[in-house]
Amino acid sequence: MPSVSASSVLPAFGGLDSKGRGSRLLAGTDSLREIEAATRRIRRHIITMLAAAGSGHPGGSLSAVEILSALYFRILRHNPQDPFWPDRDRFILSKGHGAPALYAVLAECGYLPVEELTTLRKVGSRLQGHPKAGSPPGVEMSAGSLGQGLSYAIGQTLAARLDSRDYRVYCLLGDGELDEGQVWEAAMAAAHYSLDNLTAIVDRNRIQNDDFCEKVMRTDPLPDKWQAFGWHAQEVDGHDLSQVIEALEKAREVRGQPSVVIAHTVKGKGVSFMENNPEWHGKAPTPEQAELALAELAGED
Amino acid sequence: MTTVSQATAATREALGPTLVRLAQGGLDIVVVDGDLGVSTTARVFGKAYPDRFFTLGPAEQNMIGVAAGLAAAGKIAFASSFAVFISGRCFDQIRVSVAQPGLNVKLVASHAGISVGDDGISAHAIEDVALMSTLVGFHVIVPADVVEAAQAVEAAARTPGPFYIRCGRPKVPIIYDESYRFQLGKAHLLRPGRDVTVIATGIMVKRALEAVAALEAEGIDCRLLNMATVRPLDQEAILSAARETGAIVTAEEHLVHCGLGSMVAQTLASEHPVPMGFVGMKDRYAESGRWDVLLEKYGLTAEAIVAEARRLLERKAKGP
């Protein structure tokens, strides 16, 4: 493939750096505020989508909003107008039940129309209950059975190395998902192959399907576990955009080992009655609850 | 096309050398390995192309996912291990990460069936054809000998989409000579016949050749099909056999439920039912032992095929 210059393929996108990173939200000088405004829209999309679908996973979608926003609006080298660009950075959503958050962010980037979001989980929609690769373009991997994304990310990372491409691969895992043994098989392999173009992010919201993680299966101490497996580990407040962005930028500079960013988050973040409540892992809001939630999420865009 | 050679080889021996040849020819092949690369012969490729060969340890679930990621990035990704581990341990990874997105992953499983022998029932994959055949869009191939196995590996490399190729551990007689041309999705007619048809896969093809010869000596004109591609099945060959011979015996080194026999029966039941006989493992696990002794003990023999053919001919003679 010929090398692609961001400026030649992205005339419509104003905020890209010389390597094509970022997106249209970065135009202007106060971009962090713009990203924050986007996170509010994304949270409202999530509530609206789930209420329209009548099922789905609000808690782990809301907890991941800043992580996804940091990635798509600042970190990833991508182009919504060319979703199969061979040199794009890859984002793998391993915690597939967070699909509503991914679709909402992709819509804000322009991969799909915002109006399409309310087709989630409906017959004929591209927006499957759990992600299906390429549906819509921008969704990198089929997921929904926990624990498989990091392995897939390793495959893409090894391919980059073989093809001498400099794209990076990012993989978002849930903390409950870390109970899956395959994650640790993959963690060992990524360190064995010194995959420094791979970054994992753990959405550490401390709640899994049935209950608090601590009650279901203890996973602490997480940084120690990843470090013992040979990873560079950082911990951040997963709702502080600056911290998330800074950690992901630092991960880019790590050499000789893969990086993990453990993002401490609040499940259901932004909606008072959903926050830190295990009941909201996999239940859609009623229309009345959605109205309350949207009122709480109202604010300047 | 078939040979009387006394030479033997294991079907698994086809993998490594064939991949090396294909990579030399320019195919963008990578191989992931689950710490069984000597047994599967994948390490032959690893020696020739060390930067395209990834050892992942006996962590097969991760191995499948890595293969899927490599395929998603444009590689022809081969993954190899024993049949029990690939089909059983990794079923969900294969279903979600490979079959559902339809990725270009080629699973080459060795040590299938009870012919693994001494290692015992944990190592005897007698369910793998059933499991892999349930996956939408998968090709499932059970080669009869090393010549066919090599051509199946090449067909898999050159055909987009997911494949499962089932190979065996023991050295078995080579049936085909180099003039043979494996055709994906097509049964190979080893002997024409009008009285009854035997449809066989894998190491049972050699036993079926012996059975057909024994039946011929009795004056029975037996058709023999090598059904190397189990998915998708060659419906046309099966239905022609049913219409023209009126009775079908299947022979497989696999459970008789949900394997080749069941799939042939489904084809016949919906289009042209005829009496059938099933040679294979009969709803039980085997045990440790020398592989050829196990095949005898568990009824995977030429004699069993002959007995089923005779039974069907008697039934045909009595009429419906």
Where in chain B are the domains? 8-173, 188-312
CB contact under 8 A, B93 and A182: yes
Residue of A133, A144, A155 with shortest CB distance to B65: A155
| Distance in angstroms (rounded) separating the CA atoms of residues B162 and B94 | 9
| Distance in angstroms (rounded) separating the CA atoms of residues B36 and B127 | 20
Class of domain B8-173: alpha beta
- Chain B CB contacts of A134 under 8 Å are 101
Say yes or no: domain B188-312 is CATH 3.40.50.150: no
Catalytic-residue membership of B60? yes
Q: What is the pLDDT of residues B85-129, one digit of tens each?
A: 999 999 999 999 999 999 999 999 999 999 999 999 999 999 999
| Distance in angstroms (rounded) separating the CA atoms of residues A182 and B63 | 9
CB B239 within 8 A of CB B267: yes
Q: Which residue, A125, A132, A47, A139, is CA-closest to A91? A: A139
CB contact under 8 A, B54 and A158: yes
Domains and CATH numbers, chain A: 20-296 (3.40.50.970)
How does DSSP classify residue A70? Answer: H
Residue of chain B with shortest Cα separation from A165:
B73
Secondary structure of residue A208 in the 3-state scheme: coil
- Chain B CB contacts of A182 under 8 Å are 59, 61-62, 65, 93
CB contact under 8 A, B57 and A144: no
Residue B117 has φ and ψ, to the nearest 5°, of: 80, -120
CB contacts < 8 A, A to B, total: 104
How does DSSP classify residue A68? Answer: H
B105 contact A CB<8A = no
Burial pattern B253-289, b for ≥16 Cβ within 10 A else e, equals bbbbeebbbbbbbebbeeeeebbbbbbbbeeeebeeb
**Mean pLDDT throughout B269-292?**
98
- Position B272 scores a pLDDT of 98
Q: What is the pLDDT of residues B240-267, one digit of tens each?
A: 999 999 999 999 999 999 999 999 999 9
- Position A114 scores a pLDDT of 97
How does DSSP classify residue A21? Answer: B
Residue A186: CB atoms within 10 A of its CB come to 34
**Mean pLDDT throughout B135-146?**
98
Residue of B61, B92, B101 with shortest CB distance to A185: B61
Q: What percent of chain B lies above the pLDDT cut of 70?
A: 98
Q: Which residue, A244, A93, A243, is CA-closest to A177? A: A93
How does DSSP classify residue B279? Answer: E
Encoding tokens for residue A228? 């013992």
CB contact under 8 A, B61 and A158: no
| Distance in angstroms (rounded) separating the CA atoms of residues A212 and B297 | 54
Burial pattern B154-177, b for ≥16 Cβ within 10 A else e, equals bbbbeeebbbbbbbbbbebbbbbe
A153 contact B CB<8A = yes
- Position A13 scores a pLDDT of 36
Residues in chain A: 301
CB contact under 8 A, A189 and B30: no
Q: What is the pLDDT of residues B78-87, one digit of tens each?
A: 999 999 999 9
Strands (E), chain B: 8-9, 29-33, 53-55, 76-82, 105-110, 139-141, 163-166, 172-173, 188-191, 196-200, 222-226, 229-231, 248-255, 276-281
Answer whether B8-173 and B188-312 agree in fold.
Answer: yes
B-facing residues of A in 184-203 (CB < 8 A) are 185-186, 188-189, 193
Cβ-proximal residues to A295 (8 Å cutoff; 6+ apart), any chain: none
- Position B319 scores a pLDDT of 80
- Position A19 scores a pLDDT of 46
A-facing residues of B in 17-76 (CB < 8 A) are 30, 51-52, 54, 56-57, 59, 61-75
How far B61 CA sits from the closest chain A CA (Å)? 6
The CA-atom distances, in angstroms, between A212 and each of A205, A225, A300, B225 are 9, 19, 33, 58
CB contact under 8 A, B96 and A150: no
**B314: exposed, middle or buried (C-beta count within 10 Å: 0-12, 13-18, 19+)?**
exposed
CB contact under 8 A, A154 and B66: yes
User: Judging by DSSP bridges, how do beta strands B139-141 and B229-231 pair with one another?
Assistant: antiparallel
Q: Which residue, B168, B46, B50, B157, is CA-closest to B105? A: B157
A236 contact B CB<8A = no
The ranges of chain A with pLDDT < 50 are 1-29
| Distance in angstroms (rounded) separating the CA atoms of residues A114 and B216 | 71
Residue of chain A with shortest Cα separation from B100:
A142
Q: What is the pLDDT of residues B29-78, one digit of tens each?
A: 999 999 999 999 999 999 999 999 999 999 999 999 999 999 999 999 99
CB B70 within 8 A of CB A159: yes
- Position B6 scores a pLDDT of 79
CB contact under 8 A, B65 and A154: yes
Q: Facing residues of A260 across strands?
A: A200, A233
- Position B270 scores a pLDDT of 97
How does DSSP classify residue B226? Answer: E
- Position B2 scores a pLDDT of 65
Mean pLDDT of chain B: 97
User: Judging by DSSP bridges, how do beta strands A198-204 and A259-264 pair with one another?
Assistant: parallel
A-facing residues of B in 84-103 (CB < 8 A) are 92-93, 95-97, 100-101
